[in-house]
Structure 1
Amino acid sequence: MRCVIARFPFDFVMSEVQQMMSGVRPEPAVGPCVVIGRRTYPVKQVGEVITRQDRRDFTALEVTRALTRLGFTCVTHSAVPAPTTDPLD
């Protein structure tokens, strides 16, 4: 699939992205993230690996759109876990 990230065109295939990310240790999942295999990666980390560009050159939204179009599941993780409430209180 052809996509543009930071004004540069790229042709990606889902299996190609999975192969590029195999062996890469995920950074802490905060903000926009993508699930690849059984791991959750920040989209900026994935964008940096697959495009070989500095992560300041593109937005998380650009990478999220591309990965979603490829068929990956994108989620948003918050920095602070949501408080749990007991419904019986």
Structure 2
Amino acid sequence: MRCVIARFPFDLVKSEVEQLMKGVRPEPGTGAAVKVGTKVYPVKQVGERITKQDRRDFTADEVTRALIRLGFTCQTLPAEAAPELGGPTF
């Protein structure tokens, strides 16, 4: 499938994306995520691997749209709860 990410055209195939992510450990994070195989990755991590571009060069939305068109399941990871601050209250 042909798509444009960060103004550059890419021909992506689902099996090639799966192969590129094989053996890659998912980074912790919140926000946009995609399930590749049995693992859930931040969309920006996958985008960096498949485009070989810096993450700052594209948006999560661009990669999410491309991955959905390829048949991947995308989701939004919830923000982690802020830790309770201990100590005296005044």
Q: Which residue type is aligned with residue 64 of structure 2?
A: T
| TM-score, normalization by structure 1 | 0.88
| TM-score, normalization by structure 2 | 0.87
Residue equivalent to 1:18: 18
Residue by residue over 1:48-86, the C-alpha shift from the partner in whole angstroms, topping out at 9 and shown as x without a partner, is 0000000000000000000000000000001226xxxxx
1:6–1:58: 8 Å Cα contact kept in structure 2? yes
Larger radius of gyration: 2
* Structure 1 unmatched ranges of 5 or more: 82-89
* Structure 2 unmatched ranges of 5 or more: 82-90
How many Å separate the matches in 2 of 1:16 and 1:3?
14
Is 1:7 the counterpart of 2:7? The answer is yes
Root mean square deviation, CA, Å: 0.9
Mapping 1:2-81, distance limit 5 Å: 2-80=2-80
Q: Which residue type is aligned with residue 63 of structure 1?
A: V
What's the secondary structure of 2:79's corresponding residue? Answer: coil
Moved over 4 A (4+): none
Residue by residue over 1:14-53, the C-alpha shift from the partner in whole angstroms, topping out at 9 and shown as x without a partner, is 0000000001110014100000000000000000000000
Q: Which residue type is aligned with residue 46 of structure 1?
A: V
What's the secondary structure of 1:27's corresponding residue? Answer: coil
